[in-house]
Amino acid sequence: MLETEVINCIRDSIDAESRPRNAVLGAAIQASQMQLAARGMVRSSNELHERARIGSDELTVRAEIVWGLIQRCHRAFGAPPNEHLAADLQQQVAEHITAQATVVLGYVDLQNLANFFPPNTRTHVRDAVTVRRNELIKKFSNEVRFYVQAVRQATAAANQERAQNIHIHGNVAALQTGDCATAHIHLDIAHGGRFVRALEQLLAAIPQSADMTDDQRAESGEVVTDLIAAARAPRPNGSKLVGLLNGLALTVQTVASLRGAWDLVRDAARLMGIPVP
């Protein structure tokens, strides 16, 4: 079972992020009603289809939010992965997407006006949102598997890194061995695409950060641009990537608004075999 701190973080974060969506959903329904009224289509099959579309689209947005927050909370407070992690996270996905589907249906369903519609169409909105709910649960349950695998690989890489960093103290000095002490770092290029995508997301997020000065945003953006170019090189230089990432970490990893984007970069770097603080 997930740690209580993780479960509480997930619940509270989803509640904080989803509540403002209720006003957005209400406004979408109101706008749709006005358009239908102008065309004389209120209480028609068009209204049913519009509400089904609005509800399904809104649930899709909320499911993305749910999955993003589950990942963020687990990265921040989760214990090392165990054999139950995938099932525990899948349970969180199913519970919270189902809860959001209930909220969405409360806004878009027309059960209180069912008598205005033919019997064979009265459950159209509810059925459409339910189908989308099931699709989203399946989709993000699969995403859980990929996420857990990445966490396990990152944990194994970190453990290997710690095991390889051996200090031997002699009469003159200390000698450090391991990947962190050599100019030659073995990179797992198979994860290079993920690393570049994470960097591109961070690059896009930096200009939006209100927690940095203009100079910090400009300097960090330049470093990320250099990192992307270095990662895309035919033969990426591990030492150069390490140096750039370590310099970037000093500025970015403490910026609250960039935390999620930086975590993706850090995790992707570790999967490539690049040690990141």
Question: What token pair was written down for 238?
Answer: 């591990």
What's the rounded Cα separation, in Å, for the pair 98 and 137?
A: 8
Question: 249-257: long-range contacts (C-beta < 8 A, 24 or more apart)?
Answer: 249/276, 249/277, 251/212, 251/216, 251/219, 251/220, 252/202, 252/206, 252/220, 253/277, 255/209, 255/211, 255/212, 256/211, 257/205, 257/208, 257/209, 257/210, 257/211
Q: What is the full per-residue pLDDT of the chain (277 aa) written as tens digits?
A: 899 999 999 999 999 999 999 999 999 999 998 998 898 877 777 888 898 999 999 999 999 999 999 999 998 888 888 999 999 999 999 999 999 999 999 999 876 565 666 666 678 889 999 999 999 999 999 999 999 999 888 888 777 765 554 443 433 333 344 444 444 466 767 778 888 998 999 999 999 888 888 888 898 999 999 999 988 888 888 888 888 888 888 888 788 888 888 888 888 888 878 877 6
Nearest to 274 by CA among 252, 248, 241: 241
Nearest to 275 by CA among 248, 252, 241: 241
Cβ neighbours, 10 Å, residue 193: 12
**Residue 79 CB burial class (10 angstroms; 0-12, 13-18, ≥19):** exposed
What's the rounded Cα separation, in Å, for the pair 37 and 128?
A: 23
